[in-house]
Amino acid sequence: MPTETFEFQVEARQLLQLMIHSVYSNKDVFLRELVSNASDALDKLRLAVLRDDTLDADVSDLHIELEIDREARTLTVRDNGIGMSYDEVGQLIGTIANSGTAAFLRELKEAQDAAGAEGLIGQFGVGFYSGFMVADEVTLLTRRAGEPQGTRWTSRGEGTYTLERVDDAPRGTSVVLHLKPADPDNQLHDYTSVWKIKEIVKRYSDFITWPVKLVGEKDGDGGVAEPETLNSMKALWARSREEVSEEEYHELYKHIGHDWREPLETVQLQAEGTFEYQALLFLPSHAPHDLFNQNFRHGLQLYVKRVFIMDDCEALLPPYLRFVKGVVDAQDLSLNVSREILQQDRHIRMMQRRLTKKVLASVKSMLTGDAERYATFWREFGAVLKEGLVTDPDNRDALLAVASFATTRGEGETVTLKQYVERMPDGQDDIYYITGESRESVDGSPHMEAFRERGIEVLLLTDPVDEVWTDAVGEFEGKRLRSVAKGEIDLAAREDDRGEDDREKQAEAYAGLLGWMRERLEEDVKEVRLSTRLTVSPACLVADANDMTPALESMYRAMGQ
């Protein structure tokens, strides 16, 4: 059969170069990536058989095999999962479809030095390609379940790969790594060592729900030993928190979250009673770059009685918690449960409510117990969480309790509404805020002058959603939320030098000017009046209390309304 040669897509080539010349010190993670892919392939096959009864595939012995050949210096990772068709191999392995990886490459170009690059590799998963950190040639043989023919893919990672159709490939995928020459100075990186392989699997892949077996090892008599299962396969979510180390939780997070960084927070819930389930949720430490894209894929992994059912199960959490990763394992759902059924299921709705409360409670405990972690969380996810103030009235109070805002009190300082109210001076009845596009633009706004002069604290709200929730929420603990840019704000009461008399005099003195301006601006503004808002600027535009603020107007305009 002819062998065809193809060129890697530009981004893929860049990534491969990086792997080949990797400065990344933790090369062990390549095995985690390959085992993770194998595990996904087994999940997919099991589901495919469940959904499609014309697919005739034996799923009674799904597993992952690792095989070491010391003489040939190869390490093979093999699974009998779903496999890939000829076209899929070209698409999935030859290109970089994952948008996170594209973002990674952009950042990488900006990282000038090796240390910067190392940090970045540590942050982004690079999946299959990470094999090239330890191998100078990789061969992949695969056959998709239900298809007669297999495919062999080979590459040295240098610009091209070959594809070839193969008649006698077993179902599933095997990846053969032709390991780079051994480094006599660094025994730590000897991937033909049984000890080393066992150690890596235990460290990174212990929770994988399929057996990871070491095969082909010699026994004491020169024969071949029985395969040894290296992982415990224990579902971490079903174990109590004391039994599981922080590190084990984090490895699970990296597998399901496709993230190489540590999560910020682990949240566990074990519900007993008529509808039993276990949940293990993670709050990531960084917002994904596409969090605000329309088609951001989100949701938890759903298991039923330890069996993986679906990824991105969005019914389990509200959209404003779409960044949360994790696993929910329910005891009493059907294995055939569909997304449509989940959306309508009463138990699932109850589960969503409980998980939501649990996540918000953990944010609350970060706020009260670990200010730094809370600050990271809010910086990354505050803008998303605030959507809940509009869409989830049931949890509004819980959300208001954990929300914090930039303030005129100080650069870099934030304040919760509760703190704001507590330090409001006597005589101030309302919570003041200003909305805008950036800290600079709101800081420089003429609306702020009078507040600044009088030392009144103003919340600086610069996320687009701030326009919406402030209107929807309206008040906090009986204090009105008031935009400094809307309606008539009477600050005179807190001012000694300009009394009521003074203002009447001024009104007389300026009557002519105001009248003239009203006439000239008739087409454009509703009213022209003297203001106590300003100290330096001669004039500012103010919206009626019920009107949209300029920022909201432009947001709606941008949305085409």
Structure-block tokens of residue 509: 């003195």
Query: Closest separation between CB of residue 4 and ligand ADP, Å?
Result: 19
Q: Is 187 annotated as a binding residue?
A: no
* Contact of residue 313 among ligand ADP, Mg ion, none (CB under 5-8 Å per partner type): none
Please calculate the CA angle 125-131-137 and round it to the nearest 5 degrees.
Answer: 150
| Contact window for ligand ADP (CB under 6 A) among 18-26, 74-82, 249-257, 389-397 | 74-82
Cβ proximity to ligand ADP, 82 vs 138, nearer residue: 82
Residue 41 binds which entry of ligand ADP, Mg ion, none, CB below 5-8 Å type-dependent:
ligand ADP
- One DSSP character per residue, 168-228 reads SPPSEEEEEEEEPPP-TT-GGG-TT-HHHHHHHHHHHHTT-SS-EEEES-B-TTSSBPPPE
**How many angstroms separate the Cα of 18 from the Cα of each of 90, 111, 114, 126?**
20, 13, 11, 10
Contact between 288 and ligand ADP by CB under 6 A: the answer reads: no
Check the annotation: does 81 bind a ligand: no
DSSP 10: H
Q: Answer yes or no: is 267 a known binding residue.
A: no
Tokens of 444: 């420089």
Indicate the SS3 state at residue 543. Answer: strand
Rg (the chain; Cα; Å):
30
33 is in an annotated binding site: yes
Report the residue number, 98 or 139, with the smaller CB distance to ligand ADP.
Answer: 98
Alpha-carbon span 557 to 54, nearest angstrom: 51
Residue with the CB atom nearest Mg ion in the bound state: 127
Give the residue among 401, 439, 436, 438 at the shortest CA–CA distance from 421. Answer: 401
- Closest listed residue to residue 85, CA positions, set 40, 151, 35: 151
Chain position whose Cβ is nearest to ligand ADP = 127
- Nearest distance, CB of residue 84 and ligand ADP, angstroms: 5
Q: Which residues of 218-254 are buried (b: 16+ CB within 10 A; e: fewer)?
A: eeeeeeeeebeebbeeebbbebeeeebeeebbbbbbb
38 binds ligand ADP (CB under 6 A): yes
48 binds ligand ADP (CB under 6 A): no
Stretch that binds ligand ADP, among 75-83, 429-437, 456-464, 547-555 (CB under 6 A): 75-83
Q: Does the annotation list 549 as a binding residue?
A: no
Which residues in 197-236 contact ligand ADP (CB under 6 A)?
none
Q: Is 76 in the site for Mg ion (CB under 5 A)?
A: no
In terms of CB distance, is 89 or 415 closer to ligand ADP?
A: 89
Binding mask 127-146 for Mg ion (x = CB under 5 A): x-------------------
DSSP string computed for 313-374 = EGGGS-GGGTT-EEEEEESSS-TT--HHHHHH-HHHHHHHHHHHHHHHHHHHHHHHH-HHHH
**Of 22, 37, 362, 470, which lies in the binding site for Mg ion, with binding defined by CB under 5 A?**
37
Q: Number of H helices and number of E strands within the chain?
A: 19, 20
Closest separation between CB of residue 472 and Mg ion, Å? 41
Between 99 and 506, CB nearer to ligand ADP: 99
* 258 near ligand ADP, judged by CB under 6 A: yes
Nearer to ligand ADP, 96 or 342 (CB): 96
Minimum Å distance from CB 45 to Mg ion? 16
Q: Is residue 77 within a helix (H) or strand (E), and if so which, with residue range?
A: strand 74-79
92: contact with ligand ADP by CB under 6 A: yes
384 by DSSP, 3-state: which? helix
Distances (CA, A) of 373 to 262, 267, 515: 13, 14, 56
173 is a site residue for ligand ADP (CB under 6 A): yes
The footprint of Mg ion (CB under 5 A) covers 37, 127
Residues belonging to the binding site are 33, 37, 79, 84, 99-100, 123-128, 173, 339
The footprint of ligand ADP (CB under 6 A) covers 33, 37-38, 41, 79, 81-84, 92-93, 98, 125, 127-128, 173, 258
